[in-house]
Amino acid sequence: MSNKRTTTDRLSVIGDKSSQLVGLLNLCYGAGFESFSGLTEELQGATLELAAHLAAQINALASGVDHE
């Protein structure tokens, strides 16, 4: 994507990424925890790493930094 995004574009991407993060984290707690805890340690780690990466992207976008 270009280095300059409109506020509307930025909010749209933040909304998309935060929805992905919510879905991913729903796997890690509550009703989804049984599925998450049944994963191998490697897959649990990869899932949490992905969540951290998405959170970092959301933070960067909210701070005005274009980062994919």
pLDDT at 1: 44
> Residue 13 and residue 27: Cα distance in Å, rounded?
22
pTM of the model: 0.81
Q: Which segments of 1-68 does DSSP mark as H helices, in order?
A: 7-26, 33-37, 41-62
Exposed (0-12), middle (13-18) or buried (19+): which is 61, by Cβ within 10 Å?
Answer: buried
Per-residue pLDDT tens for 19-63? Answer: 999 999 999 998 899 999 999 999 999 999 999 999 999 999 999
- In this predicted structure, the answer to whether residue 3 has a pLDDT above a threshold of 60 is no
